[in-house]
Amino acid sequence: MPIPFADTVAFSWDLLADLQMLLHYHFMQNAYLAGTLVALTAGIIGYFMVLRDQSFAGHSLANVGFAGATGALLFGIPSIIGLFLAGILAAIGIQTLNGADRQNRQSDIAVGAVFTASLALGFLFIHLSTSEYASNVYNVLFGNVLGIDDTDVGVIAWSTLLLLGVLLLIARPLFFASIDPDVAASHGVPVRALSFGYLLLLALEVAIAVQVVGVLLIFALLVTPAAIAQYVTARPVVAVLFAIALALLFTWIGLAVGYVTPYPVGFFITTFAFATYVFVRVGRLVRASFRRRRARLVLGRMV
């Protein structure tokens, strides 16, 4: 949603004045509140998704959400309900199709089957829709954080509280089951139940995050901050906090830049996240190369 007056506003060196400008309008207050809540939970959920090697499952649930949202819009019900219901059905389908997996991890085959079926269903809903339906489908694909109203903020807030509450209860056993499911199962940890429960939490996170960045850009908040955090530190608590901080930073800066330009907010959130990821990866490669060169020099001197 481009800002019609974007060419009349600009940032200054007065941070307080800039902040007042950003939060002057109610729709921007809603956007920042919703974006903050989504980024907070995305950082935590995304950390476990990367830790459990379930990035493909997260991507698939986002596309399943596309079918759920388009179906909900077609039948005149709130899109977030369709998103979450589709996510629940997808989680059940993945868990059922993957029931023979002894390691209790999501099989790419099971995830891919649900993924392709959901895309086909989404295309069917688009085919059955009218021309007025196109703008709503665009919002589902790319998000519309600047169009979030008070009702949406309330739904996101309650969903965030639910996510944080459940994660607080299962964080330790989920981490154990994610690191070594076999050892966790031998210690009495309900690995399969945790795996299914995590998929449900991921589906709920996708349902609320789609409103901010859309189905196609959801990896910007779910995967990239967590992937960067795991490159920076191996300490779980620090990595989670770092992922949250990055998700918040990308969201806040993306909203600010989107406010003063006519371009979509989701583009800036995704671009800042990707640029940071590339910077960290290149930095690690350069650092590793420097260490190898230094080790060779030390070894040469010893010889």
pLDDT tens string 129-185: 665 555 566 667 677 777 788 887 888 888 889 889 998 899 889 888 888 888 888
Helix (H, G, I), strand (E, B) or coil at 32: helix
- Which CATH number does 6-302 carry? 1.10.3470.10
Predicted confidence at residue 295, as pLDDT, reads 75
Predicted confidence at residue 187, as pLDDT, reads 85
φ/ψ region of 188 (left if φ > 0, alpha if ψ in -120 to 50, else beta) reads: left
Which of 194, 168, 179, 235 has its CA nearest to residue 53? 179
Least confident span in 125-139, 193-207, 225-239, 255-269: 125-139
55 vs 277, higher pLDDT: 277
What is each CA distance from 106 to 33, 207, 250, in whole angstroms? 33, 20, 29
Q: What whole-number distance in Å separates Cα of residue 26 and Cα of residue 125?
A: 33
Give the range with max mean pLDDT: 77-81, 218-222, 277-281: 277-281
Mean pLDDT of the chain: 79
pLDDT bin (cut points 50, 70, 90) of residue 98 is low
Check whether 104 has a pLDDT greater than 70: no
Least confident span in 23-27, 39-43, 234-238: 23-27
